[in-house]
Amino acid sequence: MTTFTLNLSALRPLLAAPRFLLLVLILLPSLANAVVVKGSNTLTIDDALEDFLLAKRDSSVDIISGGVLQQAIVRHNATLTVDGGSVDKIVVSGAGQLNVITGSFTRIVAKKDSRVSLSNVANLDRLVLRGNAAIEIMASELEFDGRFLTGVWENGTGFSIRTINRTGVETNGLPGFAFSPVPPTAVPVPATAWLFLSALTGLGLIGRRRH
């Protein structure tokens, strides 16, 4: 009978490897079809892509109406702007920046000096903050109970987002390194309405003088 002996000491260097190596192994199938944007290059996505997006090294990517991605990583001073598109999962790190004017996400992870600005976001189920990530929430009526961040976006849509704050920093009782709430936009009164009110006021004054 043959006996096999497993020497665990030989596996110690692998077991001690940084966690990002494990992440690379998990994402390897996606990275094989990755769209990589780096340097001073720019990219605009306006249709559905099944590919994995990796934006880094000062690059700039815009996802506009019709643009759809499954996963994206933004790092090394790269900037991703979303205006009408959607990304299922996104990770922003290493001084990367995410600007959302309007868009749909399932999960956003911000870490390692990243900067995130969110406005009119739909379908966001989870927001994770790590390191010294800074997040700007363009919304009103913001509240955070330690688990859920709730409020009203600028377009009037309410939201409730499961938020995990691992930055150790809170501002105004809300998670994140930075916090910039936006008050509700005042509804302008048409000029004709002001003229009508002025006319009624004038008639009232005239009526009082006659008495």
**Which of 33-37, 169-173, 201-205 has the weakest average pLDDT?**
201-205
Q: What is the pLDDT of residue 42?
A: 95
Give percent of the chain above pLDDT 70: 63
Query: For the chain, how many structural domains are there in total?
Result: 1
In a domain, 4, yes or no: no
SS (H, E, C) the chain: CCCCCCCHHHHHHHHCCCHHHHHHHHHHHHHCCCEEECCCCEEEECCECCCEEEECCCCEEEEECCCEEEEEEECCCCEEEEEEEEEEEEEECCCCEEEEEEEEEEEEEECCCCEEEECCEECCCEEEEECCCEEEECEEEEEECCCEEEEEECCCCEEEEEEEEECCCEECCEECCCCCCCCCCCCCCCHHHHHHHHHHHHHHHHHHHHC
**Which of 39-43, 75-79, 85-89, 130-134 has the weakest average pLDDT?**
130-134
Residue 20 has pLDDT above 70, yes or no: no
Pick 143 or 18 by higher pLDDT: 143
In a domain, 198, yes or no: yes
Q: Which domain holds residue 140?
A: 17-210
In a domain, 11, yes or no: no
In a domain, 6, yes or no: no
In a domain, 82, yes or no: yes
Residue 66 has pLDDT above 50, yes or no: yes
Residue 182 has pLDDT above 80, yes or no: no
Question: Which band of pLDDT confidence, cut at 50, 70 and 90, is reported for residue 205?
Answer: very low
- The arithmetic mean of pLDDT across residues 181-194, rounded, is 43
In a domain, 12, yes or no: no
Question: Which band of pLDDT confidence, cut at 50, 70 and 90, is reported for residue 91?
Answer: very high
pTM listed for this prediction: 0.69
In a domain, 45, yes or no: yes
In a domain, 5, yes or no: no
Q: What is the pLDDT of residue 41?
A: 95
Question: Which band of pLDDT confidence, cut at 50, 70 and 90, is reported for residue 113?
Answer: confident
Question: Which band of pLDDT confidence, cut at 50, 70 and 90, is reported for residue 169?
Answer: low
